[in-house]
Structure 1
Amino acid sequence: MENIDKRNSRFSRRCHPPPFEQAAVSDREEADAGIGILDFFAGKNIFITGATGLLGKVIVEKIIRSTSVGKIYLLIKAKDKEAAFNRLNCEIMNSELFTCLKEKYGKSFEEFVKAKVIAVVGDICHPNLGMDFESIESIRKDVNVIIHSAACTTFNERYDVLFETNVNASQRVMRFAKTCTKLHLFTHMSTAYVAEGEEGVVLEKPLNIGGLDVADEISLLLKSSPNNIDAPKFFKKLGQQRASLVGYSTIYQLSKAMGEMCLNETRGDVPLLIIRPACIESCHSEPLPGWIQGMRMLDPAIISYGKGLMPASYANPKVPLDIIPADFVANLTIAAIAKHGNRHTSQPVVYYASSSLDNPITFFDIFEYLYEYFKDMPLTENANISKAKIFDDFEEFSKCLREEIMRRNGAGEDRNMIRRCNAIAHYVEQMCKIYEFAGFLKSRFHTGNTQKLIRKMSREEKLNFEVDVKIINWKMYFHDIYIPGVLKYATQ
């Protein structure tokens, strides 16, 4: 990792926006009193699901570090309170993401955490969210905001698994929310790709998908009874059929769409805020530029390209990949909660966290940046790094990919090498197929609500809760932040 550190002098900066962002903010005119983010969160109690995931962690860290929030209840899947507390410490508070907070509070960090963060044993797939009576009563009378971030994000997981986690469980969280006596707002973390089937500019509005009836899907799943041996294959095939029927490429998108629709149908008078992030990637500015958890959508392609294993790709080179850094999503969520938490709206409010309209980066741009980064610093010794050829025809892509991999590895008549090259090519083909929808997406996501939010934010709020993707320099982000972040964190 020495090359990464030498190349990226800004990579280790923490806790504050980088210099070029500060300069951009200082040139803006003085805004009004702002949204009142700090005032809203002061003393508020928050209940969060999915806090061990990438986005959940970034949201938790930002709220704790930047506001005087009251208590944060984190629903953690564990067998008992001790196990939940251990997960809180090991997976959340001991994460490198929380380094800034540790530096800020020093020896009192653990005491601060105990006073602020409460680990709650639970499971969104169980009745009453798997919580005990004491936890239920405490949260019901205390909580002001619910952030539902927990989800299964495996694109082609079994249909029954995705339905249970992303649809049924979301309804359970909403039913619990309706019993909370001081609740101001229910915030649901969805995905921009619930709007995959639409073309052109997609507006920020609740879903209304013709031909999709959640009750019918429940009935279908209840009637399905394959034997245990065939169940995984059966439910994956069933899910893909149902997704294709209503215009989705993956079962995940279908499940998230149904989750949104169910929340809107069952919420009653609970105010609902829906955040739809696009492709969430490494933190841009804070608390740790480049930080990421796990391998995200583009990350496997970055690793494969850096090893010289991806000489070609399958996409429309002119199509933007809608990348959004994780800290921008967290800031948008927090700012939107503050704006809508004190006002009751009859309809759900929707925000897209996306870049495709305001600051697009195309697949062509991405592979240019990858080439510039890896041409002199490949991930494996003697890796052949050349500019990737991007095809919008799968057969042409596959032919070029296989021929080039064979040539680079000097396969010749060596059967073992031929098998190895075919395995590499198959992996790249499958990776491109899984994310094919993004490479040929015909929709762009409107960010009118975000623009209104930006205009309302004070100068200080804009600096401390950056949400404007227009400030992102994509080349700098890829070279100095994102790629080094993937190599440092996602591959651990």
Structure 2
Amino acid sequence: MALDHIISSFQDKTILITGSTGYLAKIFVEKILRVQPEVKKLFLLIRASDLNSAKNRLHDEILQKELFKVLREKHGTGFDSFVGEKIFPVVGDLRHQSLGIKDLDIRNKLWREVDMIINAAAATSFDERYDVALKINTLGAFHVIDFAKKCERRMEVLLHVSTAYVSGNEPGLIMEKPIKLGETLIPNTHLDIDFKLKLVESELEKARNEGADEKTQRLAMKMLGLKRARLHGWPNTYTFTKAMGEMLMGHLREEVPVVIMRPSIIASTFSDPFPGWIEGARTFDSLIVNFAKGKVNYFLAKPNVIMDVIPGDMVVNAMIVAMATHRSESSLHIYHVTSSTWNPINYDLIADTSHRYFSRNPCCDERGRPIVVKKVLLLTSMTQFRWHMTFLYYLPLQILKLVNKVLLQKFRLQYNKLNTNYNYVMHLAELYEPYVCFKGWFDDLNAGKLRSMVSPRSNLAFDTQIIDWDDYFMTIHIPGLVKYVLK
């Protein structure tokens, strides 16, 4: 498929996008407006109290981002009028039926006009509240496919953004295959999604009847999510609820052409619209950020374990090529947008580049003094990590407990800080352990066929073999973190 044919696939098309204030959706919106200015309309579903609030979120959380500077420069003083003709905020919430769009005129307009849908909405915290994750990642997928089937025009394609880690902790080669309804990762077990939805409502009602405050309810929901995920073989609430979302997409789609995109760990942009743009600390980035601040000099990671990373702009390029390829096919296609098969990297590279970068370009503390970073210590197992935490936090905590009341009062602040840090670090380690000890890698035969349709050097490329990872982290990703996250 020629590059101009891919781009022309979006000419005069109307696209509905959920999760529009999120990282990937922003990159998609910017990209499609830049490469195909003749796209007809982009309807962005935005959670807001009213249309004015939605317009404010569109302005503040999307269009004002530096990501759009290239598009702004391209259109100059005509930028506002250009995006005003192309982008339309829609007040809604995919947690509800009909995507929570209460305005009947707008809802009917979308059903009449929409050609394509991108579902990029997600609750991505590994330990998100179970009720929240179910409503967004699972029930949200159901509401999106239901909305697509009601469109009067024949839906050309619905692209659903999932995650490569719906596979759980499977070792070895992980295939691009759909997840069947009710399938679990534990042999001889079955998953009933309706039961899961009823269970969470029952547990919430029980907590309220017992007078539990909001903090207690939140903790109970987080623990319930992790418990139910691990019961069926998934390591956390995020991947569990995303897997159930995929099940519903595949089972209920009927004749709707569906593309499920499974990226791995999404990082900063590689080149387009410019290198290094990122929003928020994404998974391993929290380690890099805390290392830069001098808060940690140790990572829980096995040096030789593959870490699968994919730049955000490459994910969006894959989305665009897949949508153009599978328009009106009435089929389901799964794509791993990953790097572990053809250009893998290890966790020791993250440790090494972090140390080298911040040794040469130290951050400063609140007094303006450079923060000196030490070489990263890699703790290769939870047993080793727990021993390290024992000497770093637990033993000092016990010593503080043993002092008399006067001294305990004096050291209360230090005690509370140590205790909070200890619990936080241990919780993070338990959440991330499945990934830093991950023994799988992702087959991308399907994605490879898409990659072959575009030149590795084109502005729609997503071939990670062109990436020198050491250079990427040293000159693109970590500087992007410093600029956009550490600021």
Alignment of 1:45-60 (within 5 A): 45-60=14-29
Moved over 4 A (4+): 401-406, 411-426
Q: Deviation of residue 218 (structure 1)?
A: 2.4
TM-score by length of 1: 0.87
Is this contact kept in 1: 2:169–2:434, CA < 8 A?
no
Specify the alignment match of 1:227 in structure 2: 207
Is this contact kept in 2: 1:454–1:462, CA < 8 A?
no
Q: In the aligned structure 2, how far is the partner of 1:80 from the partner of 1:222?
A: 28
**41-50 vs 205-214, which deviates more?**
205-214
How big is each residue's C-alpha offset from its partner over 1:92-124, in whole Å with a ceiling of 9 and x where there is no partner?
Answer: 111111111110000110110111111111111
Instruction: Supply the AA of the counterpart residue of 1:169.
Output: G
Specify the alignment match of 1:90 in structure 2: 60
Specify the alignment match of 2:442 in structure 1: 445
Q: In the aligned structure 1, how far is the partner of 2:338 from the partner of 2:452?
A: 17
Q: Does 1:116 align with 2:86?
A: yes
Q: In the aligned structure 1, how far is the partner of 2:152 from the partner of 2:457?
A: 32
Q: Does 1:39 align with 2:8?
A: yes
The change in CA–CA distance for 1:404 and 1:386 in structure 2 (over 3 A counts) is farther
How big is each residue's C-alpha offset from its partner over 1:61-116, in whole Å with a ceiling of 9 and x where there is no partner?
Answer: 11111113111111111122222112111111111111111100001101101111
Instruction: Supply the AA of the counterpart residue of 1:189.
Output: V
Q: In the aligned structure 1, how far is the partner of 2:281 from the partner of 2:67?
A: 16
Alignment of 1:178-189 (within 5 A): 178-182=149-153, 183-189=155-161
Specify the alignment match of 2:71 in structure 1: 101
Alignment of 1:1-12 (within 5 A): none
Q: Deviation of residue 326 (structure 1)?
A: 0.7
**What is the SS of the residue equivalent to 2:207?**
coil
Q: Does 1:366 align with 2:350?
A: yes
Q: In the aligned structure 2, how far is the partner of 1:370 from the partner of 1:433?
A: 22
Q: In the aligned structure 2, how far is the partner of 1:377 from the partner of 1:223?
A: 52
Instruction: Supply the AA of the counterpart residue of 1:223.
Output: S
How big is each residue's C-alpha offset from its partner over 1:236-269, in whole Å with a ceiling of 9 and x where there is no partner?
Answer: 2221111011111111111101011011111111
Specify the alignment match of 2:476 in structure 1: 481
Specify the alignment match of 1:12 in structure 2: none
Specify the alignment match of 2:135 in structure 1: 164
Q: In the aligned structure 1, how far is the partner of 2:294 from the partner of 2:201?
A: 47
Specify the alignment match of 2:111 in structure 1: 140
Specify the alignment match of 1:465 in structure 2: 460
Alignment of 1:229-244 (within 5 A): 229=212, 230-244=216-230
**33-42 vs 333-342, which deviates more?**
33-42
Specify the alignment match of 2:309 in structure 1: 323
Residue segments in structure 1 that go unaligned for 5+ positions in a row: 1-31
Q: Deviation of residue 402 (structure 1)?
A: 6.1
Q: In the aligned structure 1, how far is the partner of 2:152 from the partner of 2:171?
A: 41
TM-score by length of 2: 0.88
Q: Deviation of residue 127 (structure 1)?
A: 2.7
Higher relative contact order (CA 8 A, sep 6+): 1
Specify the alignment match of 1:20 in structure 2: none
Is this contact kept in 2: 1:320–1:361, CA < 8 A?
yes
Q: In the aligned structure 2, how far is the partner of 1:102 from the partner of 1:108?
A: 8
Q: Deviation of residue 425 (structure 1)?
A: 5.0
Question: Would you say how many aligned residue pairs link Structure 1 and Structure 2?
Answer: 454
Instruction: Supply the AA of the counterpart residue of 2:433.
Output: E
**What is the SS of the residue equivalent to 1:283?**
coil
Specify the alignment match of 1:275 in structure 2: 261
Q: Deviation of residue 455 (structure 1)?
A: 1.7
The one of 29, 47, 55 aligned to 1:77: 47
**34-43 vs 79-88, which deviates more?**
34-43
Q: Does 1:214 align with 2:193?
A: yes
Alignment of 1:210-359 (within 5 A): 210=184, 211-224=190-203, 225-228=205-208, 229=212, 230-345=216-331, 348-359=332-343
Q: In the aligned structure 2, how far is the partner of 1:427 from the partner of 1:378?
A: 25
Q: Deviation of residue 379 (structure 1)?
A: 2.1
